A and B are shown apart, each in its own frame.
Chain A
Amino acid sequence: MTESNLAERPPEADYRHIVRLQGVQKFFGAVQALRDIDFSVGRNEIVGLIGDNGAGKSTLIKVLTGVLSPSSGRIFVRDQELDLTDYSVRMAHDLSIETVYQDKSLAEKQPLWRNFFVGRQITNRFGFIDIRRQKQIADQILKHAIGFRGVGITVDSTVANLSGGERQGIAIGRAMHYKADLIVLDEPTVALAVAEVRKVLDFVRRIKASGRACIYIEHNLAHVHEVADRLVVIDRGAIVAEVSPKDMSVTELTEYLIDLQHEP
């Protein structure tokens, strides 16, 4: 797959929200991690999700992508309600929802070709993997979609040999390869050098340009403010504000969030 046909891919027009959560609650034992979450993402919208550590951002994402099941509430994907009893990561993949976790997307000691396909291997009917084909496709993604040429990385390289930015590139490239309509980025710029941050932000813009939607979780307000269409603020498990970056500068946003912390 090449970058150009990623961009050309026409979005399906028959839905309004790629994902919508309604009245979602999540308890871990007696602790309520999410309360009354109403949250939606439009078809071609980049939503920045911000909040303090432990505010519930990760839990929200995990519920949305099938890693955790909500204690109660409803989830809609492309305006269709999901049956939450069998919602799983695999099903989220089938629904074209991909997540790129900051450090949980790739397995360190495994070669890249396995990392591209794990969870959806190309197999024969006995479950044996078509290694040649997987390597071939992985090589295509590496060279064309991600643009890793002349950096000494092949499909047989293990993830341990890659830099932080390269790992994000691999994980985002994988999400693009699977034609995700919604790509969830979980703090993709943490621990990256400035030049690599720029690359990741360009990639987020490319997600928008290709007609997809993106949820972008970020600690660094300047980064998320730069690329998001809408910012959703989450605090102590609840959504407390929605902000348009056009109406509020990074400084105002920072002050607003600090004030939030001082509330009882």
Chain B
Amino acid sequence: MVMLRAPSRLQQFEGLPIIVVFALLLALFMYTAPQVFLQPFIYTTFLSTLPPLILLAVGLTFVIGAGEIDLSFPSIIAFSGFVFAVLFKEYDLGWLAVLAGLASGLIVGLLNGFLVARIGIPSFMATLATQFFWAGMATVLSGGKSYALRGADTTSVWQWIVGRPFAGSETIWIAQVPIQSLWTAIIAVLLWFILNRHRFGEHALFIGDSNAVSRVVGIDVEREKIKIFTLMGGLAAVAAIMLTLENKNYFGNQGQGYLLTAIASVLIGGTSIFGGRATIIGTMFGCFIIGMIEAGLVATGLTGAWVRTVQGLVFLISIIFYLYIDEPQRRNAFFARMRSSRPFGRTRAAG
């Protein structure tokens, strides 16, 4: 009997472990907070609160899959949100404001890509710096003000981006279904195809696997990295516009809560922190879990203060899980360290 050195059908089921965890968690919350989780309203609420997180996390799936990191997206949300809000409110530019907001995110992403790929700054440092820079820019330009977009819901921009297409429905929860959930789903599906079926996605994964191998097989590593950071910037801008419109308000720190939740969603989903392996489906369920923990704990009767603690714990457990399942060499190295520490202790005792 030859040992099969290929993934089994079960292993090829994308995101399976995380889907199982999601189902268990959902069942748990249905049990602990049936008044919330057995009603449809919580799910329509998710449809309006999760899209920005999902867009960011899906973009980060490419970035992390390529072995890089982007810490600047909360500031892109602040900056692009500001560009959009000021043009939309003060200059009444409507769809042009949307385009300008999107363009600002793409440009910030492009600059990140340039710093990382052409100048060669490690992405952790480069995007940490640009995170401060663009948040600062947004504060300077807005003078620290927030922009209330009162009456925005009568505009076609609002209707098309965050409208309620079934607002006339008799059933309340159907009337509340927000259209951004549809746009987010379309973008996520498209990006799934790009990551798994498109040349660009394959290049991202090879770059994450090894820059040296990628160069040898003829991938333009620098150009692809710039594209990845630009994509991330664009998605953060879309998230910013959705957030600003959904809240009918722009405020400077509206992106801050997303830094860790988005990164956690990606890694919980099974994308490798070391690059080379990435899963959009995993990321989606990672987002569902992160979003659900918040609502679930509060509905179960714990205070909001517990939310971050539990999210952090889930994050940690999943990272260790993937390390053990998918990185056998790291697992072995861990056990080797454990073993080597014992003889060391004996030697000291003997001496």
Residues of chain A having any CB pair with chain B under 8 Å? 67, 88-90, 93, 99, 101, 104-110, 114, 118-121, 123, 126-129, 131, 150-154, 156-158, 160-162
Cross-chain contact A154 with B6 (CB below 8 angstroms): yes
Which residue of the partner chain, among A67, A120, A129, contacts B198 with CB atoms under 8 Å? A129
Q: For this complex, into which size category does the number of interface residues on chain B fall? A: 20 to 34
Within the complex, the shortest CB–CB distance from B98 to chain A, in Å, comes to 25
B205 at the interface (CB under 8 A from A): yes
Q: Which residues of B233-261 are within 8 A (CB) of A?
A: none
Chain A residues positioned under 8 Å from B12 (CB to CB): 156
Cross-chain contact A118 with B219 (CB below 8 angstroms): yes
Apart from the given pairs A104-B210, A107-B214, 6 other A-B contacts in the complex at a CB distance below 8 Å: A93-B218, A105-B216, A107-B210, A114-B205, A152-B4, A160-B328
Which residue of the partner chain, among A67, A99, A105, A129, contacts B199 with CB atoms under 8 Å? A129
Cross-chain contact A129 with B218 (CB below 8 angstroms): no
Known contacts A107-B206, A109-B272, A110-B206; decide if A150 and B2 are in contact (CB<8 Å).
yes
Cross-chain contact A120 with B2 (CB below 8 angstroms): no
B3 at the interface (CB under 8 A from A): yes
Chain A residues positioned under 8 Å from B209 (CB to CB): 107-110
Cross-chain contact A121 with B199 (CB below 8 angstroms): yes
Cross-chain contact B198 with A127 (CB below 8 angstroms): yes
Cross-chain contact A153 with B6 (CB below 8 angstroms): yes
Within the complex, the shortest CB–CB distance from A248 to chain B, in Å, comes to 33
In the bound complex, how far is the Cα of B41 from the Cα of A32, in angstroms? Answer: 70
Cross-chain contact A152 with B5 (CB below 8 angstroms): yes
Cross-chain contact B213 with A105 (CB below 8 angstroms): yes
B166 at the interface (CB under 8 A from A): no
* Secondary structure type dominating chain A contacts: loop
In the bound complex, how far is the Cα of B213 from the Cα of A123, in angstroms? Answer: 21
Within the complex, the shortest CB–CB distance from A185 to chain B, in Å, comes to 13
Cross-chain contact A161 with B219 (CB below 8 angstroms): no
What residue in chain B is nearest A117 (Cβ atoms)? B202
Which residue of the partner chain, among B198, B212, B216, contacts A99 with CB atoms under 8 Å? B216
Which residue of the partner chain, among B2, B212, B218, B276, contacts A109 with CB atoms under 8 Å? B276
Query: Can you give 16 contacting A-B residue pairs, CB < 8 Å?
Result: A67-B216, A88-B218, A89-B216, A104-B212, A105-B217, A107-B206, A107-B214, A119-B217, A119-B219, A127-B198, A129-B197, A129-B198, A151-B5, A152-B6, A156-B12, A160-B328
Interface string of B17-35 (1 = CB under 8 A from A): 0000000000000000000
Q: Which residues of B169-222 are within 8 A (CB) of A?
A: 193, 197-200, 202-203, 205-206, 209-210, 212-219
Within the complex, the shortest CB–CB distance from B250 to chain A, in Å, comes to 36
In the bound complex, how far is the Cα of B209 from the Cα of A153, in angstroms? Answer: 20
In the bound complex, how far is the Cα of B200 from the Cα of A154, in angstroms? Answer: 24
Cross-chain contact B276 with A108 (CB below 8 angstroms): yes
In the bound complex, how far is the Cα of B5 from the Cα of A162, in angstroms? Answer: 8
Chain A residues positioned under 8 Å from B210 (CB to CB): 104, 107-108
Within the complex, the shortest CB–CB distance from B41 to chain A, in Å, comes to 39
Most chain A beta carbons < 10 A, residue from B4, B205, B210, B218: B218
Known contacts A67-B216, A120-B218, A156-B12; decide if A128 and B5 are in contact (CB<8 Å).
no
In the bound complex, how far is the Cα of B217 from the Cα of A106, in angstroms? Answer: 9
B277 at the interface (CB under 8 A from A): yes
In the bound complex, how far is the Cα of B205 from the Cα of A157, in angstroms? Answer: 16
What residue in chain B is nearest A66 (Cβ atoms)? B218
Cross-chain contact B218 with A128 (CB below 8 angstroms): no
Within the complex, the shortest CB–CB distance from B195 to chain A, in Å, comes to 11
Known contacts A67-B215, A109-B277, A110-B209; decide if A161 and B198 are in contact (CB<8 Å).
no
In the bound complex, how far is the Cα of B194 from the Cα of A126, in angstroms? Answer: 10
In the bound complex, how far is the Cα of B210 from the Cα of A190, in angstroms? Answer: 20
What residue in chain B is nearest A92 (Cβ atoms)? B218
Chain A residues positioned under 8 Å from B4 (CB to CB): 152, 154
Chain A residues positioned under 8 Å from B218 (CB to CB): 88-90, 93, 119-120
Known contacts A151-B2, A152-B3; decide if A106 and B197 are in contact (CB<8 Å).
no
What residue in chain A is nearest B275 (Cβ atoms)? A109
In the bound complex, how far is the Cα of B4 from the Cα of A151, in angstroms? Answer: 7
In the bound complex, how far is the Cα of B213 from the Cα of A67, in angstroms? Answer: 11
Which residue of the partner chain, among B198, B214, B217, B276, contacts A128 with CB atoms under 8 Å? B198
Q: Which residues of B264-292 are within 8 A (CB) of A?
A: 272, 276-277
B143 at the interface (CB under 8 A from A): no
Q: Which residues of B57-97 are within 8 A (CB) of A?
A: none
B7 at the interface (CB under 8 A from A): yes
Chain A residues positioned under 8 Å from B212 (CB to CB): 104
Chain B residues positioned under 8 Å from A162 (CB to CB): 5
In the bound complex, how far is the Cα of B198 from the Cα of A120, in angstroms? Answer: 12
Chain A residues positioned under 8 Å from B203 (CB to CB): 118
In the bound complex, how far is the Cα of B193 from the Cα of A123, in angstroms? Answer: 13
What residue in chain A is nearest B2 (Cβ atoms)? A152
Chain A residues positioned under 8 Å from B213 (CB to CB): 104-107
Chain B residues positioned under 8 Å from A156 (CB to CB): 6-7, 12
Within the complex, the shortest CB–CB distance from A67 to chain B, in Å, comes to 6
Chain A residues positioned under 8 Å from B217 (CB to CB): 89, 105, 118-119
Within the complex, the shortest CB–CB distance from B205 to chain A, in Å, comes to 6
Within the complex, the shortest CB–CB distance from B345 to chain A, in Å, comes to 33
In the bound complex, how far is the Cα of B210 from the Cα of A105, in angstroms? Answer: 10
Within the complex, the shortest CB–CB distance from B38 to chain A, in Å, comes to 41
In the bound complex, how far is the Cα of B216 from the Cα of A128, in angstroms? Answer: 22
Chain B residues positioned under 8 Å from A129 (CB to CB): 197-199, 202
Within the complex, the shortest CB–CB distance from B236 to chain A, in Å, comes to 24
Cross-chain contact B6 with A89 (CB below 8 angstroms): no
Within the complex, the shortest CB–CB distance from B168 to chain A, in Å, comes to 38
